[in-house]
Chain A
């Protein structure tokens, strides 16, 4: 289980974005996790709150979007892959050596929490 390490890296990347935008806090963030990334979304979600404590991400809502694996079959074009069957076209079984998508591990969006200027 390396999701705590991943959560800490996520917080580093997100904190950098907060600094770039002059924001103190985020209220939500979305990450994209590929089916071939070896990261378990539930474990990442579980690890995140403790890792975020004391940072600008504390209390932020973490959404994990799972990105399915997609391969390129010579006969069937773009096909959705099943991790348990490996890199094989689900229709004809041909090898699909390259993942077109599905190995992502990225911070997609951040919702910055900024004080409403009219209320300051």
Chain B
């Protein structure tokens, strides 16, 4: 007879504690270098890269910025961002649908953090998985475009619930697509009561001042 003698052990530990530990190291590195790290998350095509392109262009010479950008397979986004004169490093995540703290830590040696004021962490386009992974950022911006449908915040409550600011992009298309601004803002507030909301268009430039203030850490 090979009977076993089961023993129950109470653990009560966070499954992502290793990620959280690495995120804390990243946060300490950013704080020591005086860098404001901003994690950008959205669904694919909401305009993260377009907003960063515009930001790099408009704040060039005023704020020292760089980008670490996650993508499943390509280097396209980093190439787009480098055209604007800022350092952009691609994190190719392979089959993984989100950035985690270790991926960010792995790319940090490529940056001169001491010479930076803002480091953007452009997440993989995905409104589910990135919400679970703290990267060590100072602030998390979640983008939703006017072309996506106003109920996204309720479909992906965790992502919006972890946002420090919600950015509604492509406002120049709002009328053309029949975007219901009030409903969208109501749904955002249901997912994250009281969260600041910025409406902007990376193309026209409308609303960018509020975004730039957030980038600089001056509130949304």
Contacts and interface: CB of A to CB of B under 8 A. Distances in A.
Contacts of B16: 6, 9, 105
Contacts of B15: 6, 9-10, 13, 31, 105-107
B1 A119 contact: yes
A38 B131 contact: yes
Given A13-B17, A21-B7, 19 more contacts: A1-B129, A2-B96, A9-B19, A13-B18, A23-B7, A28-B6, A38-B131, A38-B158, A86-B153, A86-B157, A87-B161, A107-B13, A107-B15, A108-B10, A109-B10, A110-B9, A114-B4, A116-B2, A119-B3
Interface in A1-43: 1-2, 5-6, 9-10, 12-14, 17, 21, 23, 27-28, 31, 36-39
Contacts of B19: 9
Nearest to B98: A2
Contacts of A13: 11, 13, 15, 17-18
B190 interface: yes
B154 A6 contact: no
Interface in B86-131: 96-98, 100, 128-129, 131
Q: How large, as a class, is the contact surface on chain B?
A: 35 or more
Contact of B194 (A97, A106, A109): A97
17 contacts: A9-B18, A27-B6, A28-B6, A31-B15, A36-B157, A37-B132, A38-B156, A83-B157, A87-B190, A88-B193, A106-B15, A107-B11, A109-B11, A110-B9, A114-B6, A115-B4, A117-B5
Interface of B: 1-19, 96-98, 100, 128-129, 131-132, 153-154, 156-159, 161, 187, 189-194
B193 to A, nearest CB: 4
Nearest to B189: A95
A107 B97 CA distance: 23
B129 to A, nearest CB: 4
A39 B133 CA distance: 12
Q: Which applies to chain A's interface (DSSP): helix, strand, loop or mixed? A: mixed
A9 B7 CA distance: 22
Interface residues of A, number: 44
A114 B7 contact: yes
Contacts of B12: 106-108
A105 B20 CA distance: 12
Interface of A: 1-2, 5-6, 9-10, 12-14, 17, 21, 23, 27-28, 31, 36-39, 83-88, 95-97, 99, 103, 105-117, 119
